[in-house]
Amino acid sequence: MYFSLYLFLFGLPALLLITVPGCSSPLEKTYVNHPETLRKQADLVCQNTDASHFRVENQMVRLKRQGGGELELKHYNSLLPDGYYFCTRQNRKSSILDWYKIMSENSPPKILIRTPNWLGDHVMASGFVKAILDYYHESEVDLIVKSGFENLPLPRRGKILVFDPEKISAGAFGKNLASANYSHFYVLPPSFPSAWMAFQSKIPQRIGYAGEFRSLLLSKAKKHEGKPRSVHILKEYLNLLDPQLSVEKFPPQLDTSAGWIEKHLNSFQKPLPESYLVFTPGAVYGLAKQWPLEHFRTLAAQMIQLFGTSILILGTAEDAESGAEISQGIEGVHNYCGQTTLTEFLAILTKANLLIGNDSGSMHLMGALQRPQIALFGSTSPTWTAPVNPHASLLSRNLSCSPCFARTCRYGHYDCLTKIQPEIVLQEAQKILSTKN
């Protein structure tokens, strides 16, 4: 279980006790060549530990432990000045230093995260951002976000860099980052352009998943464990930092303070009822993720009659016709699709008693708020993209042909959605609202 390593870095031995999975007995290794240069000293630490980086403080080398905390490497008369050092081309089997950088004294690593392009994935990635903030607790953590998402209150400790592919290419955007002295670039989108952006930035640690010929562009291209989409997507993100991290410890999180909510509710131009439910019938991905509009309309009429509570239909401008079809002729149902900004949309969700909607961005917004919701799954899988929310109820028919992850049904029947009858959703809503009241 333990690996005992005697280091003769500076003429005096120092004992380092490191836990190495898979080792059944203590092993000792002695180095008799005393490094004479800073590079060789840093190289020796990198080669004989599993660290991606380490720091020196008061003649102590401090390594990051998996799961948090630090491990001290005790030694004496260090020639290495206080600061941060980075090892590249790291893996479990070997550690080769081909580049390292000494930051200014006591200066922590500077981290950059490229967040996902889909709204739902972007919101789920907030859990990964929180994990980064905890792991690098002194670091500046900047986020690259798709244009349109920049005002969402993701946790951060740095700047928001807005990327608009209609105005600048991924490569050109990456080149503009080269002089910013970042040490780590976490690439969450699985696309080639996102990895190309990282490569062009020349940031030494470029970490993401392999695929789409990305391995040559990333310094650490991780392979997915198991079958595709077999673990939650947030867990996939967390694995890039540390496989020991859990979704439960770092769920999606949005910093919606009372002041933030009041500000964005006040900017909404429509009066809001004192108590309301929310329907979100849209899903940008395609019809195979959209519960039938006639089901939404039937459910709306049933819920108005049963609960007497107003229903707000929210979505983008593209959902306005759907909202009109659901609400037409039903008193107490209000179609606000296309009439809110994204931040107003989020602020309205903070006051909703219940959200009923598809596997979409709005589902993950409500999940990050940890508020009651019913999520309807068709062609996609709750295993991969369920809201991380203890107050969420997931409805899926689990047909033999699903999840197929298709945008449209290859059979044309959409049974995975149509067979989730309004009465099933109504029963679930009754359970949730009766518990809440």
Whether residue 421 is found in the same domain as residue 273:
yes
Q: How confident is the model at residue 437 (pLDDT cuts 50, 70, 90)?
A: low
* Contacting residues for 283 by C-beta, under 8 A, at least 6 apart: 289, 290, 358, 359, 360
Residue matched to tokens 């509710």? 265
Looking at residue 33, its pLDDT comes to: 35
Q: How confident is the model at residue 80 (pLDDT cuts 50, 70, 90)?
A: low
Looking at residue 284, its pLDDT comes to: 77
Looking at residue 266, its pLDDT comes to: 95
21 C-beta neighbours (distance < 10 Å), count: 7
- Model confidence at 66: pLDDT above 70: no
Whether residue 217 is found in the same domain as residue 267:
no
Report how far residue 239's alpha carbon sits from residue 234's, in angstroms, rounded to the nearest whole number: 9
Query: Is 104 within a domain?
Result: no
203-209 CB contacts, 8 Å cutoff, 24+ apart: 203/112, 203/177, 203/178, 204/86, 204/88, 204/99, 204/101, 205/52, 205/53, 205/86, 205/88, 207/240, 208/240, 209/236, 209/240
Q: What is the overall mean pLDDT for the chain?
A: 83
Query: Is 96 within a domain?
Result: no
**Residue 90 DSSP symbol:** B
- Model confidence at 435: pLDDT above 90: no
Q: How confident is the model at residue 123 (pLDDT cuts 50, 70, 90)?
A: very high
Instruction: Select from 86, 121, 153 the last residue of a domain.
Output: 86
Query: Is 174 within a domain?
Result: yes
Contact in structure between 115 and 156 (CB atoms under 8 Å):
no
Question: What are the tens digits of pLDDT across the range 238-247?
Answer: 999 999 999 9
* Contacting residues for 183 by C-beta, under 8 A, at least 6 apart: 53, 84, 86, 101, 103, 109, 110, 111, 203, 204, 205
- Model confidence at 283: pLDDT above 60: yes
Q: For residue 237, what are its two tokens?
A: 């993100």
Q: How confident is the model at residue 289 (pLDDT cuts 50, 70, 90)?
A: confident
Contact in structure between 154 and 81 (CB atoms under 8 Å):
no
Question: What residues pair up with 5 in beta bridges, in sequence order?
Answer: 16, 29
The more confident residue out of 333 and 224 is 333
The more confident residue out of 178 and 59 is 178
- Model confidence at 25: pLDDT above 50: no
Looking at residue 86, its pLDDT comes to: 65
pLDDT > 90: percent of the chain: 63
SS3 string, 190-252, reads CCHHHHHHHHHHCCCEEEEECCCCCCCCCCEEECCCCCCCCCCHHHHHHHCCCCCCCCCCCCC
Q: How confident is the model at residue 137 (pLDDT cuts 50, 70, 90)?
A: confident
- Model confidence at 206: pLDDT above 60: yes
Instruction: Select from 239, 267, 288 the last residue of a domain.
Output: 239
Instruction: Select from 25, 51, 86 the last residue of a domain.
Output: 86
Map residue 61 onto helix, strand or coil: strand
| Residue among 242, 112, 241, 237 at smallest CA distance from 183 | 112
- Distance of alpha carbon 130 from the chain centroid: 9
Query: Is 100 within a domain?
Result: no
Helix pair angle (293-307, 422-436), 10° resolution: 40
Report how far residue 418's alpha carbon sits from residue 421's, in angstroms, rounded to the nearest whole number: 7
* Contacting residues for 62 by C-beta, under 8 A, at least 6 apart: 54, 55, 56, 70, 71, 72, 73
Whether residue 281 is found in the same domain as residue 330:
yes
Whether residue 235 is found in the same domain as residue 271:
no
- Model confidence at 226: pLDDT above 90: no
Whether residue 286 is found in the same domain as residue 372:
yes
Query: Is 365 within a domain?
Result: yes
- Model confidence at 11: pLDDT above 90: no
Looking at residue 96, its pLDDT comes to: 29
Report how far residue 266's alpha carbon sits from residue 347's, in angstroms, rounded to the nearest whole number: 10
Residue matched to tokens 């999975």? 21
Contact in structure between 299 and 292 (CB atoms under 8 Å):
no
Over residues 302-324, mean pLDDT: 96
Whether residue 218 is found in the same domain as residue 263:
no
Contact in structure between 326 and 300 (CB atoms under 8 Å):
yes
- Model confidence at 40: pLDDT above 50: yes
Query: Is 212 within a domain?
Result: yes
- Model confidence at 150: pLDDT above 90: yes
Full residue range of the structural domain in which residue 59 is found: 2-86
Q: For residue 131, what are its two tokens?
A: 């994990």
Report how many domains make up the chain.
3
Looking at residue 228, its pLDDT comes to: 83
Looking at residue 71, its pLDDT comes to: 67
Q: For residue 303, what are its two tokens?
A: 């819920």
Question: What are the tens digits of pLDDT across the range 371-429?
Answer: 999 999 988 899 999 999 999 999 998 888 989 889 898 888 889 999 999 999 999 99
- Model confidence at 214: pLDDT above 80: yes
* Contacting residues for 274 by C-beta, under 8 A, at least 6 apart: none
Q: For residue 228, what are its two tokens?
A: 């595709």
User: H helices of 231-319, where?
Assistant: 233-239, 258-267, 293-307
- Model confidence at 15: pLDDT above 90: no
Whether residue 141 is found in the same domain as residue 204:
yes
Query: Is 178 within a domain?
Result: yes
Instruction: For residue 426, give the H/E element and its range.
Output: helix 422-436
Whether residue 73 is found in the same domain as residue 115:
no
Over residues 423-437, mean pLDDT: 90
- Model confidence at 111: pLDDT above 70: yes
Looking at residue 105, its pLDDT comes to: 36
Question: What residues pair up with 209 in beta bridges, in sequence order?
Answer: 222
The torsion of the CA quartet 185, 186, 187, 188, rounded to 10 degrees, works out to -160
Q: What is the CATH classification number for the domain harbouring 207?
A: 3.40.50.2000
Whether residue 221 is found in the same domain as residue 135:
yes
Residue matched to tokens 């392009």? 117
Whether residue 157 is found in the same domain as residue 80:
no
Over residues 327-339, mean pLDDT: 97
Query: Is 95 within a domain?
Result: no
Looking at residue 1, its pLDDT comes to: 33
Provide the b/e sequence for 52-87 (b: ≥16 CB within 10 Å).
bbbbbeeebbbbbeeeeeebebebeebebebbbbbb
Report how far residue 205's alpha carbon sits from residue 203's, in angstroms, rounded to the nearest whole number: 6
The more confident residue out of 87 and 307 is 307
| Residue among 22, 110, 94 at smallest CA distance from 51 | 94
Whether residue 176 is found in the same domain as residue 270:
no
Whether residue 202 is found in the same domain as residue 127:
yes
**Cα dist from 379 to 285, 293, 401, 407, 428, whole Å:** 10, 17, 9, 8, 21
